[in-house]
Amino acid sequence: MGCTYRRGKTYWIKYYKNGKSYAESTHSDKMEVAKRILKMREGEIAQGKTPGICFEKVKFDEIMDDYVTDYRINGRRTVAKAERCAGYLKEEFKGMKALEVNTPLIKKYIEKRMSEGKANATINRELAALKKAFNLAVRCTPPKVPQVPYVPMMKENNVRKGFMEYEEFMAFQDALPVYLKPVLIFAYLTGWRRSEILNMQWNQVNLKEGSVRLEPGETKNKEGRTIYMEPELWAVMQKLYKSRVMSCLHVFHSQGKKISDFRGAWGTACKAIGKPGMLFHDLRRSGVRNMVRAGIPERVAMTISGHKTRSVFDRYNIVSQEDLKEAALKRQEFSTKQAEQLQNGYNRPSPTKKVTKLRVVTN
């Protein structure tokens, strides 16, 4: 049983859960308000819920810190991105209780970020962090918030359109520094991610059988995979092995040091071939599309490139201008063939009619 009492002009309530007492101010000088709040708290306890007073003590900063901690203890590679998103959100909702963050305030945050010129995709990553933080808080024991507020997400166009055609690939080889050419070739032929290529070490390469493997945990989707190199790539890897630096474990390096950032060299090469703004990730899209064009089954191509979900794979395997031109030529060829068949049908002589003679029988 709970009770009400006064402290000065304000009514307070007292109640118990699992032998623990809770005292809470009603912020009101009316007995009816105090009784109503007490009844609500006793109802929450009867249903096995955490009393609302516990939620009111939780600050927004606390659940965002829990969100970042979750990324750290699970060894996620995007901890830095999680910290950045949490920083923006904590700055906006500074000093607030987690319980006070609701949909209208979230919409104001969205409008603020839009006014700052942030892309929809960037804002969505921050909103996803907010939603994740609240979901973690709800699943805590005991829970830190009673529910997850509705978080509206923004529409974003995430279809990737950049490709590197074969002519551009050849031109890039001439424009890039020598140490980056093998990286370019490997990416173009396999569709592997930049980090997977740059982190590759010689213990992952089997030159005898011509294979390269990634162990579980070394990929973005945490799944291992093995590919077999085509002759061109195999020859490149053999050449790299012969000229390797014994003190460097990495396959791709610059003077014995692991390659980390080559944006400057890449941007210079883009300008040199007249393709400013081309991304290294375009090689991944090109690798996927080329495999499909070569007749490799899509499931096999997904395994080689490391795409786990079909939706992501479909975003890469999109048509280019050359594909559209080829489609137009094929459609014209089909129409021409239909017209020829129709014309031949009109000019064909009609079949000879058989005349049946009737014999007239007279009486």
d(CA 2, CA 323): 75
Q: Which of 165, 162, 166, 171 is nearest to 269 (CA)?
A: 171
**pLDDT tens column, 64-80:** 999 999 999 988 878 99
**Mean pLDDT calculated for residue range 147-156:** 89
d(CA 160, CA 317): 9
Contact between 54 and 35 (Cβ < 8 Å): no
The mean-pLDDT minimum among 5-9, 41-45, 263-267, 288-292 falls in: 41-45
d(CA 90, CA 98): 11
* Predicted local confidence at residue 322, as pLDDT: 66
Does the pLDDT of residue 275 top 60, yes or no?
yes
Does the pLDDT of residue 308 top 80, yes or no?
no
State which H helix or E strand residue 4 sits in: strand 3-7
Does the pLDDT of residue 56 top 80, yes or no?
no
> What's the distance, CA 308 to chain centroid?
11
DSSP-derived secondary structure for 93-111: TTT-BGGG--HHHHHHHHH
The mean-pLDDT minimum among 134-138, 238-242, 280-284, 330-334 falls in: 330-334
* Predicted local confidence at residue 362, as pLDDT: 46
At residue 160 the predicted structure's pLDDT band, cuts being 50, 70 and 90, is low
Contact between 292 and 301 (Cβ < 8 Å): yes
Tell me the two tokens of residue 253. Answer: 């390096």
103 burial (CB, 10 Å; 0-12 / 13-18 / 19+) is exposed
Q: To which residue do tokens 């590679």 refer?
A: 77
d(CA 279, CA 275): 10
Give the Å distances, CA to CA, from 207 to 228, 254, 304: 10, 21, 18
**pLDDT tens column, 85-129:** 999 999 999 999 998 999 999 999 999 999 999 989 899 999 999
d(CA 286, CA 281): 9
pTM of the model: 0.56
Sign of CA dihedral 271, 288, 191, 311: positive
Tell me the two tokens of residue 2. Answer: 């709970």
At residue 356 the predicted structure's pLDDT band, cuts being 50, 70 and 90, is very low
CATH code of the domain made up of 166-316? 1.10.443.10
Q: What is the mean pLDDT of the chain?
A: 84
Sign of CA dihedral 101, 104, 106, 111: negative
